Amino acid sequence: MTANQKLSGQKWQDESAIQAVIFDIDDVLNYSELIYLEIERSSYAHFGQPYR
């Protein structure tokens, strides 16, 4: 369904719609802090800025 389509009174159901979202705030499922820090460091380098 695109943003400009109208529902015209029908209940919208899409099998490809997201069914659930998992937030891993404390990095128990995936320790992603090291990945984030590497992306942050490379972003600083890309724009010619010193990293902290």
- Domains held by the chain: number: 1
Look at residue 31 and tell me if it is in a domain. yes
Those residues whose C-beta lies under 8 Å from the C-beta of residue 42, and which sit 6 or more positions away, are none
- pTM of the complete model: 0.46
What is the residue range of 46's domain?
27-52
Look at residue 52 and tell me if it is in a domain. yes
Look at residue 44 and tell me if it is in a domain. yes
Instruction: Kindly state the average pLDDT of the residues 3-18.
Output: 63
Look at residue 39 and tell me if it is in a domain. yes
DSSP string for residues in 6-52: --TTPPP--TTS-------TTSSS---HHHHHHHHHHHHHHTT----
Q: Residues 29, 22: contact at Cβ < 8 Å?
A: yes
Look at residue 34 and tell me if it is in a domain. yes
Per-residue pLDDT reduced to its tens digit, 14-51: 677 888 888 888 878 888 889 999 999 999 999 999 98
